[in-house]
């Protein structure tokens, strides 16, 4: 099972389209948007992808609009602030990442194989005591990534940073 991750699209419809296209081309079995979609129209590129696989969304710190939460629920599953999922037999936590303390607590809890978050706009993979923290990155901002990325997690591989790949879109 292959999980596609995207985050921090911030109303950039072109980036959202490129991200959705990349994930569709990679043949993902599930998609998680880790927050900061911002406005409902930015979910449109994920609608056709969600026809083929489950779509999950967690709220980002720039998403206070209830219409977005309803739109995310129309596309797939809107989980609110965080989600704990079983995907392909792996325990996966989804959280926007607004609090680094909470990200570390999720990783250090030992309850998850993968803790997936965004917020920093900087792609990252860190294996720590049996849990892998994954950030797909986001729109380029100063001090973070210079390009937009998505991440793929191969949940059939042994748990580890080697199961994670980032793709520039």
Mean predicted confidence (pLDDT) in 140-168: 93
Specify the pLDDT at position 112.
Answer: 98
The whole domain housing 38 covers 2-168
Specify the pLDDT at position 144.
Answer: 86
**Pairing assessment for the beta strands 55-57 and 30-33 based on DSSP bridges:** parallel
Q: Are 85 and 94 in contact (CB under 8 A)?
A: yes
pLDDT digits (tens, 9 = 90+) for 22-44: 999 999 999 999 999 999 999 99
Specify the pLDDT at position 110.
Answer: 96
Flag whether pLDDT at 8 surpasses 90. Answer: yes
pLDDT digits (tens, 9 = 90+) for 95-149: 999 999 999 999 999 999 999 999 999 999 999 999 999 999 999 888 888 899 9
Specify the pLDDT at position 64.
Answer: 84
Domain count, the chain: 1
Which ranges in the chain belong to alpha helices (H)? Answer: 13-25, 44-52, 66-75, 100-108
Flag whether pLDDT at 2 surpasses 90. Answer: yes
Specify the pLDDT at position 50.
Answer: 85
pLDDT digits (tens, 9 = 90+) for 41-66: 999 999 989 889 999 999 999 998 88
> Residue 66: which CATH number?
3.60.21.10
Rg (CA), the chain: 14
Determine how many CB atoms are found less than 10 A away from the CB of residue 142: 6
């Amino acid at each position: 099972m292959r999980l596609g991750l995207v985050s921090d699209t911030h109303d950039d419809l072109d980036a959202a389209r490129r991200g959705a296209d990349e994930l569709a081309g990679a043949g993902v079995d599930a998609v998680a948007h880790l927050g900061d979609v911002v406005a409902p129209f930015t979910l449109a590129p994920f609608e056709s992808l969600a026809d083929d696989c489950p779509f999950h969304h967690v709220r980002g710190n720039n998403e206070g609009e209830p219409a977005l939460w309803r739109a995310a629920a129309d596309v797939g599953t809107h989980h609110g602030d965080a989600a704990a999922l079983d995907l392909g037999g792996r325990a996966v936590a989804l959280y926007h990442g607004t609090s680094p303390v909470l990200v570390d607590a999720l990783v250090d809890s030992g309850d998850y194989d993968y803790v997936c978050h965004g917020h920093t706009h900087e792609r990252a993979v860190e294996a720590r005591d049996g849990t892998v923290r994954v950030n797909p990155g986001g729109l380029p901002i100063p001090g973070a990534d210079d390009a937009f990325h998505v991440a793929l997690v191969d949940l059939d591989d042994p748990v580890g940073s080697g199961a994670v790949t980032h793709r520039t879109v």
